[in-house]
Structures are given as C-alpha cells and as structure tokens.
Amino acid sequence: MKIVVAVKQVPARDSNFRPNGTGRWLDESDLNFEINEPDAYALEGALQLKEKLGGEVLVVSLGPERVLQTIRDALAKGADRAIHIATEEEAPSDSFITAQLIAAALKAESPDLVLTGLQSDDLGYGQTGVILAELLGFSHATIVMEVEPQDGAIRVKRELENGWFQHVVLTIPAVLTVQSGIKKLRYATLMGIKKAKSKEVKTIPASSLSATLAPSMVIERVYSPQRSKQTQMLSGSAQQVAQQLAEKLRFEARVI
C-alpha cells in the first residue's frame, strides 16, 4: 500500500510572534519551526499502517527551503521518501492553492491513501484535505480516529459531537484528515536520523506545476490583540446586584 502524508511546517507554539514589515504575516527572524501537530499524528497513523500492511510512506510538504528540516524529521521517523514543493513566499498559501499543488505533485504517484492532519496550528482552516480529495477524485472522511483496512476498502472511525462516533466504509483510494491524539507519537531513533540523510527528497518548484496560483483569499493584517481592562461597579441589594451580574454575563459577555 502506498500512503502519502501531507505535512506542514508551522511556527512553534512557544515562539515570539511579531508581525513582519508588511503587517500581513509573521516576522520569521525569531521563530522556531516544527511539524504541524495534527500532521504528526497523520504520519504516525501512516507508519503504523505500513508496519501492518507493508508498502511505503511518501511525505509531501510545501514551502520554502526551511521546510526540508521538517521533511527530514519525518523521514527519520520512518517515512521512505519525500516530495518538497518549493515556494518562495514565507506566508502560507490558502487551502485551494495548497491542495492544487499537492494534487499536481501526486499525479504520477497513484497513492492508495492520502493522510493529512485535521487542520493546521497556524491558520486552522481545516479545508486542505477535503479540497485535495475533490481534486483527486478520491473518497474522503474527516476527523478520523481509527483506520481499519478491509478487502479493497477501509473502515474508519470518525469523531462527532457530544461523545458520539461514526464508522464509515470507504473505497480506496481515499483521503483522510486525522484527529490529533489518536496514537502515541514516536521519536526518531539515532539510526533513523542517519538513514534519513540518504533517503530521496524530490524538489519540485511550485511554478512548474499546473495550478492556479492566484490566491482566492488574502491575509490583510496580522496583529497582536489589544489588551484593555474595564471595571464596572454594581450597586443595590444583593438580589439586584446578582440580577445585574447575570444580565451582563448573559447579554454582554455571552458566557451563560
């Protein structure tokens, strides 16, 4: 079975976030980068499927040259080879452009499964996997918790609201967006790190792929939220104060 995992490199959560000079994205001079957490769980799910069924795991990632570090980390954990879709822009592409580029890069691969994280930690749109499935013409499922291979199909467990779950049988090939926390993540071993240096990483310029690169959505401004403090004094009897407080919590703060 050939399994493709789309991984994204995102700023580490403990980084010092500041807008850049244009005000449309982050200043990357002080940022550390890491693999998107939901994508790390998608990778772990793919590696466990490979251990059970055989085949190979192919990692695909989009971004500037720094993305190669995240790709090498995925290879060190057990992925077999990788495709780097090279872009020049530091700011992330919108979901439609990203899905188009990944679909174009996978034309020659004919994967059985494509796994992505449910959403990215930086933008959180949760759309790339669904759009990718449409472009590839694959069946798909979102918020996947478990994957059970069957004869020519897969049975997946999806997480719904209020503690409910849904089991769906999908034909192969399929695209799955994977929920965080479904598996215990593995660490790269010293042997895995050494082997990663010799594994194939194919670089494809984004401009060489057949995709519409004009963004359908533009980030106009990135800024830190303004902090402010405001105190309101309530007066009257205990019953009147309680009533005033309940009304403010319900209609102004909207927390009850």
pLDDT tens track for 153-193: 999 999 998 889 999 999 999 999 999 987 899 999 999 99
- 113, 52 Cβ separation under 8 angstroms: no
Distance CA 210, CA 41 (A): 29
Domain count, the chain: 1
Specify the pLDDT at position 5: 97
Closest CA to 165 of 140, 149, 145, 141: 145
Averaged over 17-42, what is the pLDDT? 88
In a domain, 227, yes or no: no
| Adjacent-strand bridge partners of 175 | 114, 140
Specify the pLDDT at position 163: 85
In a domain, 224, yes or no: no
In a domain, 223, yes or no: no
Closest CA to 53 of 128, 126, 147: 147
Residue 34 confidence class, pLDDT cut points 50, 70, 90: very high
Residue 255 confidence class, pLDDT cut points 50, 70, 90: confident
Structure tokens at 50: 């490979």
Q: How far is CA 129 from the centre of its chain?
A: 9
Averaged over 32-54, what is the pLDDT? 94
The percentage of the chain sitting over the pLDDT mark of 90, rounded to a whole number, equals 65
User: In the predicted model, is pLDDT for residue 91 greater than 80?
Assistant: no
In a domain, 231, yes or no: no
What are the phi and psi torsion angles at 152 (to 5°)? 70, 15
Distance CA 81, CA 188 (A): 15
Specify the pLDDT at position 218: 82
Return the amino acid letter for 66: R
Q: What is the mean pLDDT of the chain?
A: 90
What are the phi and psi torsion angles at 207 (to 5°)? -70, -20
| Adjacent-strand bridge partners of 114 | 4, 175
In a domain, 252, yes or no: no
Query: Is the preceding peptide bond at 173 cis, omega within 30 degrees of 0?
Result: yes
- Domain limits at 152? 2-208
In a domain, 111, yes or no: yes
Q: DSSP 3-state assignment of 7?
A: strand
Specify the pLDDT at position 98: 92
User: In the predicted model, is pLDDT for residue 148 greater than 80?
Assistant: yes
CATH of the domain at 38: 3.40.50.620
Specify the pLDDT at position 224: 81
Averaged over 117-143, what is the pLDDT? 93
Distance CA 219, CA 229 (A): 28
Structure tokens at 130: 């669904």
In a domain, 218, yes or no: no
User: In the predicted model, is pLDDT for residue 92 greater than 80?
Assistant: no
Distance CA 28, CA 121 (A): 16
In a domain, 202, yes or no: yes
Q: What is the pLDDT of residues 186-245, one digit of tens each?
A: 999 999 999 999 999 999 998 888 877 777 788 888 888 777 777 888 899 999 999 999
Specify the pLDDT at position 167: 95
